[in-house]
């Protein structure tokens, strides 16, 4: 078995994850909500959803307006289709995206409302428009990560690790993290997704030196 391990080691793809806060700051710096184009809004919204829900692209591709509920303070999406994490007696809990009053440019409710306004005339997917697929969502998210100067080795799925690891560091309970991500056991998070957040020693040293009087 040791020989097999040396030939094909079952090692994690990443030993660390990128800082989700860095990506959020990039999203914050994009064009204001009233000026942003549909293309930029799509990129921004997909990446924000990935980080705020800790869900796979597959799950986001199944979000629909017909299974969406809007209240004054939040959007709630109900996923009624089979997912990778679906099990007998266990399915993904409704996804809640609440208002973020501190900054409208990072508010999922305001951005979702704006997206629905800009795409209202496309509802029903009239030609040449089609429903957005999982690979497309993945490509959009990867593009934002590159624009935010995240290492090319990180794919869209890495947002799941970055979001949950950042949540744990911020004091969110394992119970809430498991519920949000759709995991039935903390072992999955600990083994495959919990990673230290990457920080650059040289960059931190320069910042400390420059900010020292």
DSSP state of 191: I
Q: What is the pLDDT of residues 155-175, one digit of tens each?
A: 888 898 888 888 888 888 888
Q: How many domains does the chain have?
A: 1
DSSP state of 70: E
**pTM, to two decimals:** 0.78
Within-domain flag for 16:
yes
Domain of residue 181, residue span: 12-195
Q: Which residue has the higher pLDDT, 203 or 16?
A: 16
Q: What is the CATH number of the domain that holds 49?
A: 1.10.443.10
Edge-to-edge strands, sheet with 74-77:
68-70, 74-77, 95-98
How many residues in total does the chain contain? 213
Rounded to whole angstroms, how far apart are CA atoms 70 and 109? 9
Give the pLDDT score at 111.
Answer: 94
Give the pLDDT score at 180.
Answer: 82
Q: What is the pLDDT of residues 79-131, one digit of tens each?
A: 877 777 666 666 777 888 999 999 999 999 999 999 999 887 776 655 556 77
């Amino acid at each position: 078995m040791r020989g097999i391990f040396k030939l094909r080691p079952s090692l994690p793809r990443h030993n660390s994850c990128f800082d989700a806060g860095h990506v959020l700051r990039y999203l914050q710096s994009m064009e204001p909500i009233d000026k942003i184009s549909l293309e930029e809004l799509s990129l921004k919204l997909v990446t924000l959803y990935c980080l705020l829900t800790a869900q796979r692209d597959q799950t986001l591709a199944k979000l629909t307006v017909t299974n969406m509920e809007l209240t004054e303070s939040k959007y709630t999406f109900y996923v009624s289709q089979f997912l990778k994490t679906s099990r007998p007696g266990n399915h993904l809990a409704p996804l809640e995206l609440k208002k973020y009053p501190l900054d409208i440019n990072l508010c999922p409710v305001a951005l979702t409302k704006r997206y629905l306004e800009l795409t209202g005339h496309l509802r029903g997917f009239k030609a040449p428009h089609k429903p957005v697929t999982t690979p497309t969502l993945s490509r959009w998210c990867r593009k934002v990560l590159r624009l935010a100067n995240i290492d090319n080795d990180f794919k869209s799925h890495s947002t799941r690790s970055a979001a949950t690891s950042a949540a744990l560091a911020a004091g969110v309970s394992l119970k809430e993290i498991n519920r949000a991500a759709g995991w039935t056991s903390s072992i999955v998070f600990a083994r495959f997704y919990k990673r230290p957040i990457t920080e650059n020693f040289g960059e931190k040293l320069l910042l400390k030196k420059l900010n020292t009087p």
